[in-house]
Amino acid sequence: MSKLSQKTAIVTGGGKGIGQAISRRFALEGANIAIWDQDMESAEATVGEIKSSGGSAVPIACDVSDPQSIEAALATTKDTFSLPSILVNNAGIAHVGTATNTSEEDFDRIMKVNAKGAFLCLRAILPAMAENGGGSVLNLASIASKLGISERFVYSASKGAILAMTLSVAKDFIEQGIRCNCVCPGRVHTPFVDGFLKEYYPGEQERTDKFKELSEYQPIGRMGKPEEVANLATFLCSDEASFITGGVYDIDGGTMNLR
């Protein structure tokens, strides 16, 4: 497995969930992984797993909504490995609410991390990637960027921004050898799902019933696995996808087209 041999990959929010799965898979494919995360306990644990399997990774504390934190993380990445060849904009937070019951504070908080955070990472890392002769950007959007989902108002808005950024970056940086694509996962079983169920469905049977309902929403009959998103991410960030840029890829168990 050497699709990403010797490439330096930055994975924001790479300590758990989909980001963790991408970090693990990229490391198996030979990449040097810089996990940028605020949750250093998770980042360090994931780096430990990668190293124990013979991979190369480093945990770097980073708040993607803070330009200075990003610059410091980028400097550490360069000093530890090299100029980046891959950026995975994965860091993000979720919110449950409609246009009328979402507070202004929550709107700003979600957009600051999900949309502005991706922008700030792009602004800092694209010049370094160009200096390195090009590379690949993968943004984590969501089917919520294209499909009406109940009570996901600001989350959907933030992921719609990610989709639009993907197309703009692909257009603006193609001559610098930089490809930019995004994936739109459907419901994937991550710690967020478990936390959501625990918070909003406190009873054990209630949680079991809701988990079944959430799973069966996908025509394929289950939620996705983080590793399945990582499989697609690996292809899109590898040289095997060298003719692909500006792409928007659903990975959703048939939700977009079969419901």
Q: Which helix (H) or strand (E) holds 135?
A: strand 135-140
Closest Cα to residue 148, out of 140, 138, 157, 137?
Answer: 157
Q: Given 155, 200, 201, 249, which residue is catalytic?
A: 155
HSE-CB at 204 with a 13 A cutoff on CA atoms is: 0
Q: Is 155 a catalytic residue?
A: yes
HSE-CB at 7 with a 13 A cutoff on CA atoms is: 28
Can you read off the two tokens belonging to residue 255?
Answer: 């939700």
> What type of residue is 197?
L
Strand 56-61: give its sheet, edge to edge. 56-61, 32-37, 8-12, 86-89, 135-140, 178-185, 248-251
Catalytic residue annotation: 155
